[in-house]
Amino acid sequence: MSAQSTLAPPERSAPRAGAGANLVRRLAQSPEAGVIIACVLVFVAIALDAPTYTSVGNLQVMGRDLSQVGILAIGESLVILTGGIDLSVGALAGLAGILAAWFNVNQGMPAPLAILVTLVVCGLVGLWHGMMVTRLNVPPFVITLVTYTVSQGLALAITSGSPINNISPLFSNLSQYYIGEVPVPALFFVAAVVIAWFVLERTYVGRQIYAVGGNKEAARLAGIPTGRRIAATYVASSVLAGVVGMLVIGRMNVADPSVGPGWELTAIAAAVVGGVSLFGGEGRIAGIAAGAILLEFITNGLLALKVSPYDQQVVQGAVLGVAILLDRVRARYFGRTRR
């Protein structure tokens, strides 16, 4: 009896001693937690050095900027989760704005119809990507790079290099109105996050998308329609790029053919910073949203701190590089410990 009583206390105290270590381990295994903590630290650090950073006007500007980066990042992330990549989202967003303005101004379409037709065109582009990748095994990098180039050329050809003016006020209403103090585009971003979270986390289709990205052949043998799931992510990515195009021309009140190209790199960066694996099958919407928010905090903060535009690009590139490095180190370490 005495031996049992002396052994009992260590058995009860062991879980308490390891509770802190287990919590730290769980946080380290979760890239989303790290990104969220980084968002808080960056925001506080910049706010202490730049008082205007937390002004209502600047927060509203960040909300509008975030809608562009964040919505593109969500669409891009869906494709990356399947093991693909979409390099066309930036240029396609720019082309979508040009098409909507052209339909509205040059063809006399009402703005709602112009928006609908443009989003259908974007969806067909995404479907084309999906069919080429799944039916003809064209590498995603190649086919979306083709669309990137064609979209740039079409935007310039349609406009002859000049912006389209006199677009419907509906576009500016979507981009410049507020609900309370919150700009409408920021609410578009929140809606996109909620819908993407529900699909990926609470539906059978979402689990299948993760399965396809984790092991495409195993998913196929399990009866998952891998081709349709992959094509669906490309369609979603292209449609979301079209939504961003609508918001951009409304914000500028003009359709400029030079807008869009290059945004795909920011979208990919937000996804990777948010914990999405470039190999597919890993990543959560919470992390993706936090990654987009972190990049916006940094970009706007560098402006508030009056950092040179050239140095801003260096900092943004360094953030992406560090995120990729940490992701690989984390994946290798925890993968080894699980094995």
Query: pLDDT band for position 25 (50/70/90)?
Result: low
The arithmetic mean of pLDDT across residues 7-21, rounded, is 52
Query: pLDDT band for position 29 (50/70/90)?
Result: low
pLDDT in tens, 70-80: 999 999 999 99
Cβ atoms 158, 98 nearer than 8 A: yes
Given a cut of 50, whether residue 177 has pLDDT beyond it is: yes
Query: pLDDT band for position 310 (50/70/90)?
Result: confident
When computed from its CA atoms, the radius of gyration of the chain, rounded to whole angstroms, is 23
pLDDT in tens, 46-59: 999 888 899 999 99
Given a cut of 90, whether residue 316 has pLDDT beyond it is: no
Token pair, residue 190, equals: 């929140």
Side-chain-side CA neighbours of residue 16 (13 Å): 5
Helix (H) or strand (E) holding 183: strand 182-183
pLDDT in tens, 102-128: 999 999 999 999 999 999 999 999 999
Token pair, residue 233, equals: 């992510």
What lies within 8 Å, CB to CB, of 212 at 6+ separation is 82, 83, 219, 224, 226, 229, 230, 280, 281
What is the rounded CA–CA span in Å between residue 281 and residue 206? 11
Q: Which residue type sits at 236? A: A
Q: Which residue has the higher pLDDT, 43 or 13?
A: 43
Query: pLDDT band for position 339 (50/70/90)?
Result: very low
Q: Which residue has the higher pLDDT, 32 or 16?
A: 32
Given a cut of 70, whether residue 18 has pLDDT beyond it is: no
pLDDT recorded at residue 221: 94
Cβ atoms 166, 256 nearer than 8 A: no
328 C-beta neighbours (distance < 10 Å), count = 13
pLDDT recorded at residue 305: 87
pLDDT recorded at residue 20: 60
3-state SS record for 9-69: HHHHHHHHHHHHHHHHHHHHHCHHHHHHHHHHHHHHHHHHHCHHHHCHHHHHHHHHHHHHH
Q: Which residue has the higher pLDDT, 130 or 39?
A: 130
pLDDT in tens, 125-152: 999 999 999 999 999 999 999 999 999 9
Query: pLDDT band for position 37 (50/70/90)?
Result: confident
What is the rounded CA–CA span in Å between residue 151 and residue 240? 16
What is the rounded CA–CA span in Å between residue 14 and residue 29? 22
- Supply the angle between the helices 184-202 and 226-252 in degrees, to the nearest 10: 170
Q: Enter the pTM of the model.
A: 0.88
Alpha carbon distances (Å) from 96 to 28, 110, 168, 244, 257: 40, 16, 15, 8, 10
Alpha carbon distances (Å) from 159 to 117, 142, 150, 170, 260: 18, 26, 14, 21, 15
Token pair, residue 145, equals: 């790079």
